[in-house]
Structure formats: C-alpha cells, structure tokens
Amino acid sequence: MNNRSRLSGIITFIVTTFGEFIAVYYWLLFFNEGRIAWAVAVLLIGFIIERGAVVLHFHLPAWITDQKGNKSPILLILIFVTVSEILTWVMMLQMSVHLSYMYGAIIFAILIHLIHSYEAKVILVGTMKDSLLNPGTITLSLVETFGAVGLVYFTAHQKPITGACVLLGSLLVEHTLQVVGLTAETKGHDGSK
C-alpha cells in the first residue's frame, strides 16, 4: 500500500467514524428534545457524508453491476441504504424506549446486519447470501448494535457521556474492522497484493 492510499484510508476512516458519531449523537439529542425534523436531518447529513467518503475511497462507479449483470445507479443504492439505516435507528430507539432495550437490540442487530450485508455485496460485488453469512459482517453488526443500544440506554439513564463513549468506541472498532476487511477483500478481488 503506498502512502497516498494509506492517507486516503486514514481520511476515510476519520470522516466515516466521526461523521456517523456526530450525526447519531445529535440525532438522539434532537430526538429527545422533540425536534424530530432536526434529528432526521442531522442523521441524513451524517450518513450521506459517511457513505460519500466510502464511495470516493473505493472509487465506486456511477452504475454498479451485480454478479448477474444487472446495473443499478449508485445514487439509488445510496438513497435506499441511507433511508434504511435512518429507519433502523428510529425503530431501535422506539423499541428500546417503549418495549425494552433487548427488543431494540434485536431489531437493530437484524436490520443493521441486512444493511451491512447489502453494502458489502455492493462494494465487493458478491452475493447477499455470502455477505449475510460472513463472520466479519456479523461481527460488525453486533459491534454497532452494542454501541447503538449503549448510547440510547446510558442517555436514558442520565449518563449521556458514557453513552457517547460506548457509541464512539463501537464505531472505532467497527470502522477499523471494515477498513481492514474491505481492504483485504478488495485487494483479493482486483488481483493486487
């Protein structure tokens, strides 16, 4: 890996990690204050920044071709994934607050795993089944679930700084694993070493 590529990876890691962290933290803050439009807007902006950095880092084309030769515009994929993740966070929050944190964690883990699997399928041009069963993708989903529910739990129990630390820690671990895993797998796909 050359210095330019390494620097690009570091910048992508910082933008994705802190972009998502800031967006999710302020989403919950605004949501708890009843400012729902602001909450959704900040989450939308954060996820657009996060995904935009990934698209730029991996040089994803304007049209993505799957293994069957079907083409989809990257913009449509980004909209679908971003809206799906916003709904996932909102559903987890509502289930955690109104039912139990365990239900919130279960629904979040399932939905975020579907999202992570789809993203991996797009980036690696693999199959959804392979992505769903990939131990790395499962690990990423569980790590993010821990951070998401931890943020909501600790914030609800008047410990927002602890919740923020749990979220940031989980995102640092998740994004480190993603960078290492995707870099290794994309190298394997393009024939480089």
- Tell me the pLDDT tens digit for each residue of 44-72: 999 999 999 888 888 888 898 877 788 88
DSSP string, 23-91: HHHHHHHHHHTT-HHHHHHHHHHHHHHHHHHHHHHTT--SEEE-TTS-EEEHHHHHHHHHHHHHHHHHH
Rounded Cα distance between 136 and 88, Å, is 20
What is the per-residue pLDDT for 6?
Answer: 77
pLDDT of 115 above 80: yes
% of residues, the chain, pLDDT over 90: 63
Tokens of 117: 């699997």
The answer to whether 163 touches 150, Cβ cutoff 8 Å, is yes
Average pLDDT over residues 108-115: 96
So what's the pLDDT on residue 24? 96
Q: Are 12 and 179 in contact (CB under 8 A)?
A: yes
In the chain, what percentage of residues exceed pLDDT 70? 93
What is the band of 191 on the pLDDT scale with cuts at 50, 70, 90?
Answer: very low
Q: Which pair of structure tokens corresponds to residue 120?
A: 């991996």
Q: How many helices (H) and strands (E) does the chain have?
A: 7, 2
Higher pLDDT, 192 or 5: 5
Do the beta carbons of residue 12 and residue 57 sit within 8 Å? Answer: yes
Residue linked to tokens 């796909």:
189
pLDDT greater than 60 at residue 187: no
Report pLDDT digits (tens) over 10-30: 888 899 999 999 999 999 999
pLDDT value for 184: 60
Work out the pLDDT band at 125, boundaries 50, 70, 90.
Answer: confident
Range scoring the smallest mean pLDDT among 68-72, 140-144, 145-149: 68-72
- Does residue 182 have a pLDDT over 70? no
- Which is higher by pLDDT, 95 or 11? 95
For 97, the token pair is: 């607050």
Q: Work out the mean pLDDT of the chain and round it to a whole number.
A: 89
CA dist., res. 127 & res. 70, Å (int): 13
Cβ(125)–Cβ(189) under 8 Å? yes
Please list, in sequence order, all residues whose beta carbon lies within 8 angstroms of the beta carbon of residue 160, skipping any fewer than 6 positions away: 29, 154
Q: Tokens for 5?
A: 């590529």
Q: Check if the beta carbon of residue 153 is closer than 8 Å to that of residue 163.
A: yes
Question: Which residue in 93, 68, 81 sits closest to 150, CA to CA?
Answer: 93
Mean pLDDT of 113-132: 87
Residues with Cβ within 8 Å of 110's Cβ and at least 6 positions away in sequence, in order, are none
pTM of the model: 0.88
